[in-house]
Structure 1
């Protein structure tokens, strides 16, 4: 029964890693396998199977796909209005030291893009920018793979952790806080690793050590504060803003003039005015303000908006509960509103913006199918009892040591799907079922569930999707092998450290 329960996941591993099928095809077939096995081997009825698929589709569309489409649309609209050109110009005016720019663009701005958009933008855009200002293309992609690791759990306005909360029934704010704690040591390490990679040796830390520590701390502290008190939506956004501020401040106060790391001088260009800068950043600033205004910090706005919702019982079998559609106070709606207002201020007409949105949806059509089918697969597996069967076997094999492998399982989910959100959907319930099987209390169950999101951050570095995005961003066809070889060397120690943190941390949390 264990291998039958595992069959959709085994198929995904083979389809994506060996047969190199596109995600939408692999996941569609995984759904078919899950449905067949659920009905033939686990006693699921056809109506219940269809209801599980429908509930998975609802979860995929609202809020997950809504957030992804809105976030990518915001970025595409910034490209259309040339606002992104202004942002790029502002970032690259800080220093001509490639180590500083790698941290500013890869770590700071990359984290901001991950928090706002996610979905590969935090690798593609910074890597392309770094290569465009004269940094080695392979190096540009490599440092962005490192930078994109720890923010992944909070990508696309926190959608992986929000989804994990929906799947497991655990409060998303608690999951966000635990994930931030688990990732804290690696968050402090990332800027150091990026700088060492930038220079090819430990010597690259000369003159950069304090800046690395400052940028890591300025990222981590706001992230922890927002995760603990507000939840996952703005944690990485706040952290990345803190990191960019710290990097710019250090670069201005303590300018570096090491010829070994200096980029070739560029032609002087007119300085960006305050008005230009504000217009360029306006969509992202509005997203931040809208999400903050509708957060739990401001109950006068948050509470009435969250009453605008509809609850529907989609899955009517055992374990089913009403699924709630929150119509206004949901990140996707707020992001779309911010994007349209920002685009209008930047001079785009309504018709232009609708066309950009239309192109965004068309370009994401295969991704939309992938996410719907992978979430529907997870719902079928969960309601059929397949996920529970896998969890029982995992616990039987590892016993009380299960928490040490929880993050590794999360990383496998992201390796398979390329998405922390999909990993949380695939394995979130497995994590809590496994935690219950070893007798963990509610807090430790949440801690182990959070480990799935933590592990997803490590898996993001070696995901074939991330590697392909990095190679495409630098225009280096065939560089996938080099990038994967590099990323694996970072992934392995990361996932070991994560396992130790989760295992020993359970005693503190418990």
Structure 2
């Protein structure tokens, strides 16, 4: 049996914490300074952590290798099993005319770019985040906004900033599931806590979006619909994550918000329309010279910027027949039905009996520094009731509904795997790094050191999550890296481990708009390759401002003032 040691480096907790932080520092430097590919940086950090485990923390080699395998397998199943099947369903819809029908439906609702920013970037982007994630919501939202006539730079900014509120529950709650896997905390408590934090961000995001699109005039004229969108989205997140199914949080929130906005627009309209088709007609009539295009926020030469100066196809503003709209929404409705059935008490119990197995991971025999068992040594395999499996069944039903042949379905699945090949390496490496750090005791050493800050750790905790997502580009990866660290520090300082773990996810989402991956996706989507630094400067203030607000919320939740919100 191996027992973790808190201060293995010359008996000093400070030196041990510094050494424990080296794999994370290496990851940050390789990503942020040298801009190395994420999968290469993750593999390099994993190798360093393995060496430190053997040499510094004196963990037996066979147990280090076993911990590496356990983390890599957890990255594959359930995390990547969710991501692959979610993206597969999305690609199935894109391969048919129904995805465009859904886009036309949204664009036909209003020509006002401020309203479209809420509907496309905030609502539809959240729907895409719930399935695809990994940049897809940003790329698609930005392209749709440009097609509607929004300036490229604004389209990119709006899409990036909107991709915050839904991220904590994105990809069918993969971040929360990863947090549960590395901390051992009950998934429902983590989901409930995150659902009592992210709504405060959701309420503000639509207001910021309309401000970016149209400044103070946008706020003055469209604040009612922005407030409604934010409140409905936030309340739906809270209710779904706390009382329904965490996997469906973003799906329910996005659909509920779209319905609320549509109902409101039947009885209320902004004082004037901003960004109608006439604006683009004027550009076309003016000849769309390079200077005009620069005025629109596009580079002088950019192949993809032509959508801002070419007369849009009139059909994109024509609402499809009701039958087409329902069929375009079918994959999302199928997912909601499948997951709702899985939550029926009798079905849930049956799935738990036949679709789940828990066993000790082979080759791991260890306890923590005080002799207690480490939860991560027990592996829970949900093969039938796993989120990814339910998504796979939903994809099969979608194939049947859309009459996609088995051959084409397999081809699209293979294309999905190819598209995610580097992501697969990155996620498995990051989860392996997380497991090695957690099981060897490196995370415990770092957490014990941070715990010396006492109650001030409640201020540090959101920043840790924010840095993790800003550098890795993934809330899932950040939770895998820092989830156990947050719990270790919380236990030592007397803070709620559920609160600190959930904070890592909820505050982390605010760093996603600044991650290199998302910035590159947004810049490419609007034909402004190389403009990542411009987008960074435009968004960093909003990111830090929202981080400050959620930090205040977390600090209050760590005290009796709002402590009643912690499950």
TM-score (norm 1): 0.96
Matches within 5 A, 1:145-156: 145-156=160-171
Bigger shift: 403-412 or 334-343?
334-343
Change (3 A) 1:324 1:136: same
Alignment pair present for 1:509 and 2:524:
no
Alignment counterpart, residue 368 of structure 1, candidates 419, 424, 427: 424
Q: Which residue of 1 aligns with 2:394?
A: 338
- Separation in structure 1 between the aligned mates of residue 83 and residue 386 of structure 2, nearest angstrom: 12
User: Which consecutive unaligned segments of at least 5 residues does structure 2 have?
Assistant: 1-15, 282-311, 367-373
Q: Which residue of 1 aligns with 2:526?
A: 474
How much is the aligned-residue C-alpha RMSD, in angstroms?
Answer: 1.5
- Separation in structure 1 between the aligned mates of residue 97 and residue 75 of structure 2, nearest angstrom: 31
Bigger shift: 85-94 or 231-240?
231-240
Alignment counterpart, residue 409 of structure 1, candidates 437, 460, 464: 464
Alignment pair present for 1:301 and 2:353:
no
Alignment pair present for 1:275 and 2:323:
yes
Conserved? CA contact 1:280–1:346, under 8 Å: no
User: Which consecutive unaligned segments of at least 5 residues does structure 1 have?
Assistant: none
Residues 252-286 of structure 1 show CA distances to partners (whole Å, capped at 9, x for unaligned) of 32234625443437554364122222222211211
Matches within 5 A, 1:212-251: 212-251=226-265
- Separation in structure 2 between the aligned mates of residue 178 and residue 310 of structure 1, nearest angstrom: 27
- Separation in structure 2 between the aligned mates of residue 122 and residue 138 of structure 1, nearest angstrom: 16
Conserved? CA contact 1:219–1:239, under 8 Å: yes
Structure of larger gyration radius? 2
Residues 275-329 of structure 1 show CA distances to partners (whole Å, capped at 9, x for unaligned) of 222222211211111112112xx11111111222233322522125321111111
Instruction: Find runs of 4+ consecutive structure 1 residues off by over 6 angstroms.
Output: none
Alignment pair present for 1:181 and 2:237:
no
Deviation at 1:237, TM superposition (A): 1.5
Residues 234-256 of structure 1 show CA distances to partners (whole Å, capped at 9, x for unaligned) of 11211111111122222232234
Alignment counterpart, residue 334 of structure 2, candidates 286, 289, 303: 286
Residues 480-501 of structure 1 show CA distances to partners (whole Å, capped at 9, x for unaligned) of 0111111211111111112111
Bigger shift: 305-314 or 81-90?
305-314
Matches within 5 A, 1:59-458: 59-199=74-214, 201-256=215-270, 258-264=272-278, 268-269=314-315, 271-295=319-343, 298-307=344-353, 308-314=355-361, 316-318=364-366, 319=374, 321-396=377-452, 398-440=453-495, 444-458=496-510
Conserved? CA contact 2:199–2:237, under 8 Å: no
Conserved? CA contact 2:221–2:271, under 8 Å: no
Across the two proteins, how many residue pairs are aligned to each other? 503
Change (3 A) 1:407 1:209: same
Conserved? CA contact 1:420–1:457, under 8 Å: yes
Conserved? CA contact 2:182–2:434, under 8 Å: no
- Separation in structure 2 between the aligned mates of residue 344 and residue 487 of structure 1, nearest angstrom: 42
- Separation in structure 2 between the aligned mates of residue 56 and residue 96 of structure 1, nearest angstrom: 48
- Separation in structure 2 between the aligned mates of residue 263 and residue 249 of structure 1, nearest angstrom: 23
Residues 140-170 of structure 1 show CA distances to partners (whole Å, capped at 9, x for unaligned) of 1101111111211000011101211221111
Task: Say which SS state the counterpart of residue 312 (structure 1) adopts.
Answer: strand
